[in-house]
Structure 1
Amino acid sequence: MNRFTGFLLASLAAVPAEAAESLLRIAMTAADTPTATGMPNNGFEGMRFLGYPVFEGLVLWDLTRTDRLAGLRPGLAERWEQAPDDKRVWIFHLRQGVAFHDGTPFDADAVIWNLDRYFKPDAKQYEPPAAGITRARAPLVESYRKIDDRTVAITTAVPASYFPYMAVYILFTSPASFEKAGRDWARVGTLPAAGTGPFRITRVAPREAVDLARHDGYWDPARRAKLDRVRLMPIPEANARIAALRAGQVDWIEAPAPDGIPSLRQAGFAITTGSYPHIWPWFYNIGAPNSPFRDVRVRQALNYCIDRDALVGFLNGTAEPSVGWLKKDDPNFGAPQHRYGLDPAKGRALLKEAGYGPGRPLAFPVMVSTSGSGQMQPLPMNEFLQESLKQNCEVNVTFNVVEWQVLLTAGRSAPDAPALQGALALNVSSPSSDVSVMARYFSSANLSPKGFNFAQWKDEAFDDRLRTLSESTDPREIAAATRAAHERLVDNPPWLYVVHDLNPRAMSPRVKGFVSPQSWFVDLTLVSLQ
């Protein structure tokens, strides 16, 4: 009996004693439980399940609708605005009457304490792993200060009209949790730590499960959870997740294997899919010494060498072709000169211009993961791309296969860092939800390891358009600049654009009230079990 099977049997044995309570069991794609200190690792799957349900930000996502991209709503700050005399300064007015799960107050001192945790390396509470994640997601934070007990100001490095979309990723943990654990963040993660969210952590068992319970003292009575408890279980292998669902060992699985979806639907399980702001690409490593991707013709060529439609068929329709960072029907897609699709002749011609061909084939290694948040079915999908590039354009690709968290760490590394193992591309799925994400991934001010611009991509026209939309308050000017910026992402591509995920999940028919928003995240407070 392996460890996973033994744990599932133990979970089943516990069910009768828990029958009086509603317990939702979720199978994640992660290979391990996300860290539980208040800034979870394991990418946005960590944020989805062990971030926002437990720990909150000054700004939160509105995840109650399916008909449009998820917007923002007030969170631990009831309102915010730019300072009238300096567009770099954002003033946040904190919500009254909020306490952490341990009963300690949420106030301006707690905000500053947590900001020091992320942005002040000499602070006693500085947490390097959490700081790396937060700095990469909110790279514009320059300074901050307490105005009074209910008001804080955060200053950005440059004016940024989209900064609230970065603030949404800064989560807050009770300072008392750190003190209770002897000022040891490793121990904080097993206490468990206290947040302010609608759920609280009750048990952390690394590699096995994290248990959450409804927080009946949640500050927003209208948003208190319907479920009594939630169990988060890492099951990285897609077929193992399906087997667990069929056996009644879990109620909800992320990313079911596409070929298993028809039989799950036939068996009465609910399958949810929906468009959301997500892309599954390869990041080109442009900055590595002697990288072939320094030549834009090589980057363009690969975008003509892959059969996206065939890959969508291979995925049983759970994705759609990607020909840019945004979907082609997005109003901000623009009118780029390049319209990517399978065109081997054009791909080969561009490679030939760049000096590659039968006598000197293009060859490079790609770092890929075995599973992970938004990674869909990474191994078979990457093998499909490997064969597509070989057949269509005689490009030879090899793989460095690692765990998801290892790949995420590599994505925040310098282009020649040992952590990359010589990889000249990374397969990291990523959001495309708003301009703040565009700035994080593509602004030349956010080159890794400072930010998420792993590709080390620099485009003056893009930076100019980003500056315009950052400083402007005119919606028409912002929209025009966004379209022009995206055109540069297509014509001077920093990535190989592959597919947009349709976010499939499979659930027991007992799961009710689930809303599949146009977002990476979900609102667990809406869910119940029957």
Structure 2
Amino acid sequence: MPSRGTGRRIASIIAAGLGAALVLTGCSGAEPEKAQPAEWELTSTTDAPSGDLESFTWANYAEPYSLDYAYAFDYADNMVLANVCESLMRLNPDWTLSPGLAESVAHPTPETWVYEIRDGVTFHDGTPLTAADAVASMNRHLDPAVGSSWYSTYQNVASIEQTGDMQVTVTMTGPDSQFNLGMGGSAGVIESAATLADKGADYGNSTGGVNCTGPFSFGEWQSGESITLERYDGYWDPELTARSAEVKFIFMNDANARTNALKSGEVDGGWMIPADAVPQLLDSDQGDMLFGLNTAVNNLIISDLDGPLGDVRVRQALLMALDRQGIVDAAVKGYGTTTDVLTTESVWDGASDAAIATAFGDVEEYPYDVEAAKKLVEEAGATGAELTYVTAPISSDFNVYAQATAAAAESIGLTVNIETVTPNAYTALFSDPTAREGVDLFYTSWYLSSPDPLEMYSVLRTDEFSNYGGWSNPEFDAVVNEALAIQDPAERSEKTAEAQQIANEELPWLPMFEAPVTLFMGERITGVSPSIAFMYYPWAATIGAR
């Protein structure tokens, strides 16, 4: 999990317009009315194309911050970049890793990873991919002047060196099973060293663009309007040769405008559909409303453990007083499920059956029980305590989380003071400790970028950058550190399951629910695999004509 820029991902998933009712049933503290559960199922693949396309359009909820892979730390950035730039490893729609620009990877010692760079690959300017390009691209994450959003993936790296004609060796300061897993995302992207040197400060922006190896090349970036990508005819992987000559991403910040464009067929598709629009698009004759694999859990971050929430009983009470099913119904129109843990099963790739049973079955449950929660607050001597919850006018579901939390607290004898700040100030909560001073709670939708739940629990160790509340548990730290040194996924998963149990008992963050990735695929197109892998996998290349 990167240690910088996290706030951009949080602000933008909300800005994507998850949408919600402005009033959560039951916020008055009365017994809520339960909505009928929404019916939905995950789709892994869609029909193969019948032919190629000249072009298709895609609604992007925001203009990318940058196409520089060092800063591509957000949905809007990565959904574009994934089709242009490639990483050492490839993170697939089923959330497994396979070789990418590294034809193979070896792990000869616990401290070294050796990558054999794929021969016969060219950048979009026609120059060949070399090991030197990989070294230059990866070393940028270690350069303080760059300030990479993906620095934490590299925080245990001692050196990155070319050790053969097409070989790169990464030496770690100690065993780190997570490093190679992170090479399937933006942290593993390889760019032309010559392009990096030539473009300098303009690299990745609308002027400089990028020069990578993906199935599409960078075409044109019209600031405030669109980005156009063009099929790269020299692409190395015939299985992912682009089926469309171009794809145009249109920036559509307004959720209603985006919904109307999808309903009318003005644009051919889009990720992260506003929740209010899902029922409408399910009934649309303009295409298919689909639900895909996700790795995100929606949580309340406890950012002050020196206050009332420092007592685990108060944290447990607040979680039990939250009508989480009501939150799901209001915030994502019922398209989600409540959870008591901080990871989804989708990220437990290679886990043993015993680990899954421990991580998801042998954990504390926190049912909606106001009376029991109230007693916990009384036992903790916290009745009458005040909490500060920070929110922002980013989208209507933010209001749902804030009002639901305030109502839950009131029902058990606590008071929540809601403070509304600007979106930029909200983003600062994730990067600036001073912004969190006096703040007890704020919301996050926290997704993982690798097929391993240990990514989640690594950031909750003592003094980690993203351990926003300063939670510290020596037993937890020891379990996570032991897991980091285990290379076998099944064996590692069993230690990670122990970490999940501890976090489930201690509640450094309060897990609320998980929800699927949403996608609308218009009537002209097919071939896309609905999955959060759209952040890193060249999904647009598989789209062709119905």
TM class, shorter-length: 0.7 to 0.9
Task: For residues 139-181 of structure 1, give each alpha carbon's deviation from its aligned partner in whole angstroms, at most 9, with x where no partner exists.
Answer: 3333222212311111233312232212223222223333333
Q: 1:73 and 1:202, CA in 2 relative to 1: closer, same or farther beyond 3 A?
A: same
Q: Pick the aligned partner of 1:80 from 102, 105, 113.
A: 105
Which residue does the alignment assign to 2:42? none
Asked if structure 1 preserves the Cα contact closer than 8 Å seen for 2:389 and 2:440, the reply is: yes
Q: Tell me how many residue pairs correspond in the alignment.
A: 477
Q: 1:55 and 1:485, CA in 2 relative to 1: closer, same or farther beyond 3 A?
A: same
1:202 deviation in Å? Answer: 0.9
Which residue does the alignment assign to 2:21? none
- Distance in 1, Cα, partners of 2:388 & 2:494: 37
2:208 partner SS: coil
Which residue does the alignment assign to 1:213? 230
Q: Pick the aligned partner of 2:420 from 400, 419, 423.
A: 400
Which residue does the alignment assign to 2:271? 254
- Distance in 2, Cα, partners of 1:406 & 1:41: 20
Task: For residues 128-148 of structure 1, give each alpha carbon's deviation from its aligned partner in whole angstroms, at most 9, with x where no partner exists.
Answer: 2xx1x1113443333222212
- Distance in 1, Cα, partners of 2:309 & 2:442: 13
Task: For residues 258-293 of structure 1, give each alpha carbon's deviation from its aligned partner in whole angstroms, at most 9, with x where no partner exists.
Answer: 333222222223110134222111222146xx4443
AA aligned opposite 1:385: A
Gaps in structure 2 of 5+ consecutive residues? 1-51, 347-355
- Which region of structure 1 is more displaced relative to structure 2, 482-491 or 272-281? 272-281
1:429 partner SS: strand
Q: 1:304 and 1:339, CA in 2 relative to 1: closer, same or farther beyond 3 A?
A: same
Q: Does 1:466 align with 2:480?
A: yes
Asked if structure 2 preserves the Cα contact closer than 8 Å seen for 1:177 and 1:188, the reply is: no
Gaps in structure 1 of 5+ consecutive residues? 1-19, 372-376
Q: Pick the aligned partner of 2:373 from 347, 359, 363.
A: 347
AA aligned opposite 2:272: A
Which residue does the alignment assign to 1:153? 169
Asked if structure 2 preserves the Cα contact closer than 8 Å seen for 1:285 and 1:425, the reply is: yes
- Distance in 1, Cα, partners of 2:394 & 2:525: 28
1:250 partner SS: coil
1:331 deviation in Å? Answer: 4.0
1:25 partner SS: strand
Q: Does 1:22 align with 2:46?
A: no
Q: Does 1:276 align with 2:294?
A: yes
Q: 1:139 and 1:509, CA in 2 relative to 1: closer, same or farther beyond 3 A?
A: farther
Q: Pick the aligned partner of 2:253 from 227, 232, 236.
A: 236
Task: For residues 246-265 of structure 1, give each alpha carbon's deviation from its aligned partner in whole angstroms, at most 9, with x where no partner exists.
Answer: 23332213333333322222
Q: 1:424 and 1:500, CA in 2 relative to 1: closer, same or farther beyond 3 A?
A: same
- Which region of structure 1 is more displaced relative to structure 2, 301-310 or 335-344? 335-344
AA aligned opposite 2:57: R
Say what the alpha-carbon RMSD is for the aligned residues. Answer: 2.8
Which residue does the alignment assign to 1:363? 387
- Distance in 1, Cα, partners of 2:534 & 2:53: 28
- Distance in 1, Cα, partners of 2:240 & 2:523: 23
- Distance in 2, Cα, partners of 1:42 & 1:162: 18
Which residue does the alignment assign to 1:9? none
The percent of aligned pairs where both chains have the same amino acid is 22
Q: TM-score, normalised by structure 1?
A: 0.82
Q: Does 1:93 align with 2:116?
A: yes
AA aligned opposite 2:90: L
AA aligned opposite 1:87: P
1:333 partner SS: helix
Q: Does 1:56 align with 2:86?
A: yes
Asked if structure 1 preserves the Cα contact closer than 8 Å seen for 2:454 and 2:496, the reply is: no
- Distance in 1, Cα, partners of 2:242 & 2:235: 9
1:479 partner SS: helix
1:50 partner SS: helix
Asked if structure 1 preserves the Cα contact closer than 8 Å seen for 2:462 and 2:472, the reply is: yes
Asked if structure 2 preserves the Cα contact closer than 8 Å seen for 1:33 and 1:207, the reply is: no
Q: Does 1:36 align with 2:61?
A: no
- Which region of structure 1 is more displaced relative to structure 2, 105-114 or 154-163? 154-163
Asked if structure 1 preserves the Cα contact closer than 8 Å seen for 2:370 and 2:411, the reply is: yes
- Which region of structure 1 is more displaced relative to structure 2, 112-121 or 34-43? 34-43
Q: Does 1:117 align with 2:140?
A: yes
- Distance in 2, Cα, partners of 1:305 & 1:397: 17
Q: 1:457 and 1:26, CA in 2 relative to 1: closer, same or farther beyond 3 A?
A: farther
Q: 1:250 and 1:474, CA in 2 relative to 1: closer, same or farther beyond 3 A?
A: closer
Q: 1:60 and 1:186, CA in 2 relative to 1: closer, same or farther beyond 3 A?
A: closer
- Distance in 1, Cα, partners of 2:481 & 2:460: 12
**Which protein, 1 or 2, shows the higher relative CO under an 8 Å CA cutoff with sep ≥ 6?**
2
AA aligned opposite 2:66: T
- Distance in 2, Cα, partners of 1:519 & 1:384: 32
1:436 deviation in Å? Answer: 4.3
1:455 deviation in Å? Answer: 3.4
1:101 deviation in Å? Answer: 1.3
Q: Does 1:105 align with 2:105?
A: no
AA aligned opposite 1:411: F
Q: 1:328 and 1:223, CA in 2 relative to 1: closer, same or farther beyond 3 A?
A: closer
- Distance in 2, Cα, partners of 1:459 & 1:311: 30
Q: 1:242 and 1:526, CA in 2 relative to 1: closer, same or farther beyond 3 A?
A: same
Task: For residues 291-319 of structure 1, give each alpha carbon's deviation from its aligned partner in whole angstroms, at most 9, with x where no partner exists.
Answer: 44333233222211211111222232211
